[in-house]
Amino acid sequence: DQQVKQNSPSLSVQEGRISILNCDYTNSMFDYFLWYKKYPAEGPTFLISISSIKDKNEDGRFTVFLNKSAKHLSLHIVPSQPGDSAVYFCAAEGAQKLVFGQGTRLTINP
């Protein structure tokens, strides 16, 4: 039973455009959501998070949106840069659990 799902295994976006990565969850106990970025041969690094009491959190080029009724969150990167090419994991925390999605590989094309 996969509680956190990233249905797109890969996404390709042109440099300068907006990248939108999506994540769905099933467990209503989750109340804190995080995005991690992972380069090859490195561990995931924390990118941005959002609490369930908010519906938007912005940090520079990165914005996370949370739709609690749909149990859906998304990460927007604008403008996309070549260095943003990586695998992005969403994660959900609640009831002393931290559950990750399977990741989306983002490729930014020049």
Partner 1 sequence: ETGVTQTPRHLVMGMTNKKSLKCEQHLGHNAMYWYKQSAKKPLELMFVYSLEERVENNSVPSRFSPECPNSSHLFLHLHTLQPEDSALYLCASSQGGKYTEAFFGQGTRLTVV
> What distance lies between CA 49 and its chain's CA centroid?
9
Note whether 21 binds partner 1 by CB under 8 A.
no
Q: Contact with partner 1 (CB under 8 A): which of 13, 21, 23, 34?
A: 34
Nearest approach in angstroms of CB 61 to partner 1 is: 19
Whether the upstream peptide bond of residue 79 has omega within 30° of 0, thus cis, is yes
DSSP, collapsed to helix, strand or coil, labels residue 43 as coil
Q: For 35, what's the count of Cα atoms within 13 Å in the CB-facing half-sphere?
A: 28
- Does 51 sit near partner 1 (CB under 8 A)? yes
Q: What is the total count of residues that contact partner 1 (CB under 8 A)?
A: 25
Q: Which of 61, 74, 93, 107 binds partner 1 (CB under 8 A)?
A: 93
Residue (of 69, 65, 62) closest to 48 by Cα position:
62
Nearest distance from C-beta of residue 83 to partner 1, angstroms: 18
Tell me the one-letter amino acid at 101: G
Tokens 């295994």 sit on residue: 9
One of 46, 55, 56, 58 touching partner 1 (CB under 8 A): 46
Site of interaction with partner 1 (CB under 8 A)? 2, 4, 9, 32, 34, 36, 41-46, 49, 51, 89, 91, 93, 96-103
